Amino acid sequence: MNALAQTLRWPRTRVDKQVGGLRFALWNAAQIAEATGGKASGQFQVSGVEMDSRDVQAGDLFIALKGEAMDGHRFLDATFANGAAAAIVDRPIDYPHVLVKDTTAALYALAQVARDRSPACILGVTGSVGKTGVKEAIFTALERTSRGAAHRSVRSYNNHVGVPLSLSRMPAPSRFGVFEMGMNNAGEIAGLTAQVRPHIAIITTIAPAHIENLGSMDAIAAAKAEIFGGLQEGGTAVIPADSPHFAQLRDAAQARGANVISFGRGADADMRLLDAIPQDNGGALVTAALGAIGLCYTVAEPGEHWIDNSLCVMAAVHAAGGDLGAAGLALAEMGGLKGRGARLRAKMPGGHALVIDESYNANPASMRATLAQLGQTPATRRIAVLGSMKELGDFAEVFHGQLAQPVIEAGVDYAVLVGPEMLALAREMGKLPRDALGNLVRFAHCDNAGEAIAALQEFGLAGGDAVLVKGSNSVGLSRVVEHFAARER
């Protein structure tokens, strides 16, 4: 069987993911005790690491973290009832355990040893928009390339707890590790990249997310560029060539001695878009070039922003020595992530409505991108449920108000605006001129997700409608999506 046939057949069975035949030996008691400076109660081995008792599965190591309002030690009985193999604790218990002075410090120590022992090529991903989707696409490509010997941070485990947890879960024989890094303030990514120590550092884009805390776009770019501080010697930086902050990012990377691979649509980009042909499913057939290497692949995810994301993915996979053919297959097969582009069909009078779930996060750039995507989606009517964009500070009123034009350009028939910050957009919507038929764009302002559901019910959704649901996670628009999911057929 040739290499292409083997790639197309992956994955064959679940056994492929048992690297080296080690089903449960992620860590054993002696390794955990040595890494954390703790004392093991006896011999055991674990297959995973978890910090949330609700997510514990059979064979997991549970780390009983203590916070200001919560203490994981309170959930030990439930944790072991769920199948935990052992726990890291700061007090003696009657279950298999490693006793340490500080469980949070133990998590960090375990993560450091996991990183030290791994021969894997490590990739770190950050950016204002798209980092979770890009991380998932890179992982899917490298998992296929390595026959299952790739590891990544799950969900959006990208903060001061999620990153060390993700590192501690990395099997020793892994060939690739892909880790997402997020931030709210300057200095946070510096701490995360020091743990991850990537060989390849990726910035997807720079946009006004967290501008409330950082104050300017230049400051956001500088905060994202902190990822280069952890780059290993001879490492590579993958950065957006079309960003107004390209020179700032390039200079920061080169100051660390990094090789730079840029991606984008401009003629100077290293991974350069040549053409993109829209497909019926909202995706695109992309033609790109990396030097003398020509690429043609399909992007399943809809939206212009995913064309740019795909260039970033290809550049990162190339830098990691992965298979670009496998990367193309990964991009062709990816479905939308929950809260980040997943699509569902909800039964309505007269047929089904398409619901686009973008309820997990929102900033001005991603709002514009997803509204443009809605405008390109075939539909009888287009409905936009838009929640407040958080962490914009003094810029909030301006950025929310500026969404009026993208709403019009998307051909939105009805807009449901949720949250106090969306009052600025409501005011702008009220000023819009009538269309050629003398109609105004209908809209409603709501305080919460429950009111938004009621507004949609009053409007009367029908088969053939397309509904975009997007807002910052704290607005709670996932409740709107769950309302539709209950009607999915």
Residue 19: per-residue pLDDT? 36
d(CA 378, CA 266) in angstroms, rounded, equals: 29
Torsion angle defined by CA atoms of residues 263, 265, 269 and 274, in that order, rounded to the nearest 10 degrees = 100
- List pLDDT tens digits, range 175-230: 999 999 999 899 999 999 999 999 999 999 998 876 777 889 999 999 999 999 99
Residues in the chain where the model's pLDDT stays below 70 = 1-24, 210, 433-439, 488-489
Q: How far is residue 366 from each of residues 76, 167, 232, 288, 360, measured CA to CA in Å?
A: 40, 29, 31, 23, 11
- Going from the N-terminus, what domains does the chain have, and what CATH number goes with each? 22-106 (3.40.1390.10), 118-333 (3.40.1190.10), 342-485 (3.90.190.20)
pTM for the complete prediction?
0.80
pLDDT at 184: 86
Residue 197: the pLDDT is 98
Predicted local distance difference test score (pLDDT) of residue 129:
84
Give 330's Cβ-side CA count (13 Å radius). Answer: 25
pLDDT number for residue 4: 46
Give the per-residue pLDDT at 11.
Answer: 52
Q: What pLDDT, on the 0 to 100 scale, is given for residue 130? A: 86
pLDDT of residue 325: 93
| Residue 7: predicted pLDDT | 46
Cβ(421)–Cβ(386) under 8 Å? Answer: no
